[in-house]
Homo-oligomer: A and B are copies of this chain.
Amino acid sequence: MLIDQDVLPSLARGCAILSAGGGGSPKIGLLAALQAVADHGPVRLVSPDELPDDHVIMPLGMVGAPTVSIEKISNGDEGRWVREAVEQVTGRPVAAIMPSEIGGSNGCEPVSWAARLGLPLLDGDGMGRAFPLMPQVAMEIAGISPAPCVMVDERHNVLVTYPTNGHWLEKVCRSTAIAFGGRATSSEYLMTVAEAKRGAVLGSVSKAIEIGRTLQNATGDPVDELLEHVSGYRLLEGKISDVERATTGGFARGSVVVSGLRQDGGRLLRLELQNENLVALEDGAVRACVPDIITVLDTQTADAIPTELLRYGQRVTVVAFPCDPVWRTEAGLALAGPRAFDYDLDYRPVEELLGTPT
């Protein structure tokens, strides 16, 4: 399959839905990808079976606060600088680029780097969504080392880190992203194609494209058609009545209150944010929580609104749907369940909390 100018808008819409509000606004990644594909031609989407087993899969993504990445964008050369360092330190050729996370801009922008470098894009990612922390990837669960990690900024500062584990990856790279001004481009959990077959969340790029196409082709209520496609739940339809958000410690953190309208009039839903929407609460009870995917949609278009663009007065529908199964394992929940974000609550799957999809 080729990712070209026709496919990219679908990919961007799908990445936004899978983002849980994080990964940066896909509009930025979409613009970068459209330009790169116009300049260098479409990008081939490949499965690991099409690549040499001992070559390198290079995960790529933006690290930092999405609030910052709206204004501080890539200059386009980051992918090349990362690749040069990756091939030098691993001594192996890069076979394909993979989005570190499929959610948000991070799901689209790798297409721009792939186009510029003439590399294919692996149909997969590290999360099947977006998460705030760098070690929250399926590769960590599969025992793939986070080292070496290559990080660059748009000025061509380059950093090659060999963290002893995912905890130190996060500490060192987060502080560097802050030092760089709030965002950086990074590749970590480098792996061979053979390792990617067991380590990555495969199929997530085509999944995002399919979600986007469902929205593009919707003939009825796009929210309804989306929810049917992803086996999702409508948590609340309403209006954003309060937004509290700050860029601290390299993250966009805060909480948002949605006041119900129409059939949900009189209800209040509260979302807790750390880059992504992590917990949805109503009357003190959890209605959905991480690692399941909570996304805020524009009620009219069903387009996802990233956490950094949530504003008072927006008419939204909050939806939730199941995460990739890797996150529901014991190791997955230890890495990315509610307690990994300091919420004192146990994970319960969204379908258990909410019953049959609506």
Contact = CB atoms under 8 A, between A and B. Distances in A.
B162 A168 contact: no
Interface in A132-164: 155-164
A92 interface: no
Contact of A162 (B158, B161, B180): B158
A164 B160 CA distance: 14
Contacts of A243: none
A175 B163 CA distance: 15
Contact of A179 (B156, B160, B175): B175
A162 B159 contact: yes
B159 A172 contact: yes
A164 B81 CA distance: 13
Contacts of A178: 175
A50 to B, nearest CB: 33
B176 A172 contact: yes
Interface in A160-195: 160-164, 168, 171-172, 174-176, 178-180
Contact of A164 (B157, B162, B174, B175): B157
Contact of A172 (B157, B164, B171): B157
A159 B156 contact: no
Given A175-B178, A176-B172, A179-B171, A161 B159 contact: yes
B160 A156 contact: no
Interface residues of A, number: 19
Contacts of A168: 155, 157
A156 B178 CA distance: 23
A323 B243 CA distance: 55
A172 B160 CA distance: 12
A160 B147 CA distance: 12
A172 to B, nearest CB: 5
Given A175-B176, A175-B178, A179-B171, A160 B163 contact: no
Contact of A159 (B155, B157, B160, B174): B160
A161 B164 contact: no
A149 to B, nearest CB: 9
A85 B21 CA distance: 39
Contacts of A174: 179
A175 B180 CA distance: 10
A115 B322 CA distance: 58
A179 to B, nearest CB: 4
A1 to B, nearest CB: 37
Contacts of A161: 157-160
A164 B159 contact: no
A251 to B, nearest CB: 15
Contacts of A160: 159-162
B162 A172 contact: no
A163 B171 CA distance: 19
Nearest to A161: B159
Contacts of A158: 161-162
A164 B156 contact: yes
A175 B171 CA distance: 10
A41 to B, nearest CB: 31
A156 B165 CA distance: 10
Counting chain B CB atoms within 10 Å of each CB, which of A157, A171, A174, A175 scores highest?
A157
A164 to B, nearest CB: 5
